[in-house]
Amino acid sequence: GAGVSQSPSNKVTEKGKDVELRCDPISGHTALYWYRQSLGQGLEFLIYFQGNSAPDKSGLPSDRFSAERTGGSVSTLTIQRTQQEDSAVYLCASSLSGTRNNEQFFGPGTRLTVL
Amino acid sequence: QKEVEQDPGPLSVPEGAIVSLNCTYSNSAFQYFMWYRQYSRKGPELLMYTYSSGNKEDGRFTAQVDKSSKYISLFIRDSQPSDSATYLCAMSESGGYQKVTFGTGTKLQVIP
């Protein structure tokens, strides 16, 4: 079956603009995660969804970052008033459930460049 | 100090060599240990998963966990050019929802 998909694959934007990144998880996966990957920084956890609710959003770096998930499926990560330090690859992952470390399946990521 | 430390490399080895990749960590509550492989411009994929201390073998890959030293390793035998990728260690605490903490990744190049 289809894996996790993300769109767009690349996004170039100007400082101060808002961007929306989309994630389509594997069908039937109730848990969804957003990560940010910067050069030399590894994967930085942003937010975790179980169904449509986000019990852990502790990794969101500022109030410019928000995310939602609808219908227990598609998720959108929104970055308002983008800054150059927001440039990174944003990865989405999904798993069958959020408990006991079910394997997380990652999408290919969205490469965001803020000029 | 980061919770998980991993040498970024790059590590360059000839085809057929044994590769050793390592991570150290500081959180003694970590119980689940994973290795992910990430090819260029792709998302990470789970390679090995172990619980608590001990060894786990899967084909050419062996994962070792030494909780007393807070040290984990991934060994790749008979390395192949197709093994060239970035390898990320990852770990999480026990019970309930698992937030996974990743290392920064080691870039491996296997030269034919």
Give the model's pLDDT for residue B53: 83
What are the φ/ψ torsions at residue B81 (nearest 5 degrees)? -55, -30
Distance CA A43, CA B66 (A): 23
What confidence tens digit (pLDDT) does each residue in B11-30 have?
A: 999 999 999 999 999 999 99
Q: Under an 8 A CB cutoff, do A99 and B49 touch?
A: no
Residue pair A22/A108 in contact (Cβ under 8 Å)? The answer is no
Which chain A residue's Cα is nearest to B48? A103
Closest CA to A31 of A110, A115, A77, A95: A95
Residue pair A71/A53 in contact (Cβ under 8 Å)? The answer is no
What confidence tens digit (pLDDT) does each residue in B58-78 have?
A: 999 999 999 999 999 999 999
Token pair for B6: 């991993």
Q: Under an 8 A CB cutoff, do B92 and A101 touch?
A: yes
Coil vs helix vs strand at B81: helix
From chain B, the residues in CB contact with A101 under 8 A are 32, 34, 49, 92, 98, 100
Give the model's pLDDT for residue B14: 97
Q: Which residues of B touch A (CB under 8 A)?
A: 4, 6, 8, 32, 34, 41-46, 49, 88, 90, 92, 96-105
**How many C-beta atoms lie closer than 10 Å to residue A59's C-beta?**
16
**How many C-beta atoms lie closer than 10 Å to residue A69's C-beta?**
21
What confidence tens digit (pLDDT) does each residue in A88-115 have?
A: 999 999 988 755 556 889 999 999 999 9
Average pLDDT over residues B30-57: 91
Q: b/e for A70-80, b at 16 or more Cβ within 10 A?
A: eebbebebebe
- Assess whether pLDDT exceeds 90 at residue B93: no
The list of chain A residues with pLDDT below 70 reads 1, 98-102
Which chain A residue's Cα is nearest to B47? A103
Query: If you search the block for the tokens 């619980």, which residue do you land on?
Result: B51
Average pLDDT over residues B37-51: 91
What confidence tens digit (pLDDT) does each residue in B96-109 have?
A: 556 788 999 999 99
From chain B, the residues in CB contact with A98 under 8 A are 97-98
What are the φ/ψ torsions at residue A85 (nearest 5 degrees)? -70, -5
Which chain B residue's Cα is nearest to A56? B99
- Assess whether pLDDT exceeds 50 at residue B95: no
Distance of CA B100 to the CA centre of its chain: 13
Distance CA A34, CA A77 (A): 8
Q: Under an 8 A CB cutoff, do B49 and A101 touch?
A: yes
Give the model's pLDDT for residue B73: 97
The residues that bridge with A42 in the sheet, in sequence order, are A38
Give the model's pLDDT for residue B65: 95
Residue type, B57: E
Q: Please, which residues have CB within 8 angstroms of residue A73's CB and are 6 or more apart in sequence?
A: A24, A25, A27
Distance CA A76, CA A6 (A): 10
Alpha-carbon radius of gyration of chain B = 14
Distance CA B19, CA A1 (A): 33
